[in-house]
A = this chain, B = another copy of it.
């Protein structure tokens, strides 16, 4: 057991604070002889990197990943892979004013109650900066399951939802929101500018889709693929809800509408709908795996809020650091990475118990 590790056979252990010298992770269980160089990982880091548009924090981090172990001559060796990312743009003095105050909606108070320690510099370990390690690990995970395509999109910001009939995955690469609906991306830009200007922030919903997962991955009861995805997504900073397929909406469905019917299509089974989100009984059906999660609005806002300090006094707080008005945006690549890690883990677990696919 390790509170800083996740996965079973593809196992990632992360470390580092927002304002320490570096952050990093150790990835264990990777199969040997997989081509892996730093550029393979860096590709995915760019998507999560802060400071790339006016809609994300202005902290500037190059987020260069160094591989310190686990590869030899451009291939994985099967041993533990250590990745290190230096922190470059730490301005701890930004936090001097709030040194003794608990920021509402942040983990300041709970860390202090649990550990009796107050690392006030940018949230310390609880900062979303930690998610850079997840993205790096996800870059390795993707190489273990090359037949699987993982894509993410922002589908709701505030109460503005994308029009699913206009969904275009290519659009996601063209706007700063990972928005699959071109028209909505424009509305979000206006909405987010307004939100930022009034010193506020907004929540969002992200959808992650994995295509190409064969039927049979996952496991029953307490190794369920959906339960592992729920844990992986809920564990991302600021996430408050997770849905698979029909999600919370399943409550309002009838049995006829919910259960996806099946038909043969040549030698393959075809499902006529995907309310299940690609998972039944904790095991993949072969359809797209569809996960959604809600990210709460950034709690670091300019608008003054009531709070208390470490000495037990009532006070107010207004957070002036560099923050994302909608952290949900940068959660998209993080969600993709978590999907990749969970699937890589389950691929290895499946291979352990059942062996290579029966052709």
Q: Which residues of B contact A250 (CB under 8 A)?
A: 203, 240-241, 294-297
Q: What's the nearest-Cβ distance from chain B to residue A323, in Å?
A: 9
B26 engages A77 (CB within 8 Å): no
B240 touches A231 (CB 8 A): no
Residue-wise, chain A 219-257 has the 8 Å CB interface mask toward B (1 for contact) of: 111111011111111110001111111111111111111
Q: Which of A54-62, A178-186, A343-351 contacts B (4 or more CB under 8 A)?
A: A343-351
With A263-B314, A354-B78 known as contacts, the answer to whether A256 contacts B200 (CB < 8 A) is yes
Name the residue on B nearest A158 (C-beta). Answer: B252
How many chain A residues sit at the interface, stated as a range, is 35 or more
Which of A39-47, A111-119, A163-171 makes up part of the contact surface? A111-119
Q: How many copies does the complex hold?
A: 4
Supposing A26-B4, A294-B248, A299-B255 touch, asked if A220 and B79 sit within 8 A by C-beta, the answer is: yes
8 Å CB contacts to B: which residues of A11-49? 11, 13-17, 20-24, 26, 28-33
- A286–B113 contact, CB under 8 A? yes
Q: Is the CB of B68 within 8 A of A16?
A: yes
Tell me if A146 counts as interface (CB < 8 A to partner B).
no
Contact B354 A158 (CB under 8 A): no
Q: Which of A236-295 contact B (CB under 8 A)?
A: 239-264, 267, 269, 272, 275-277, 279-286, 292, 294-295
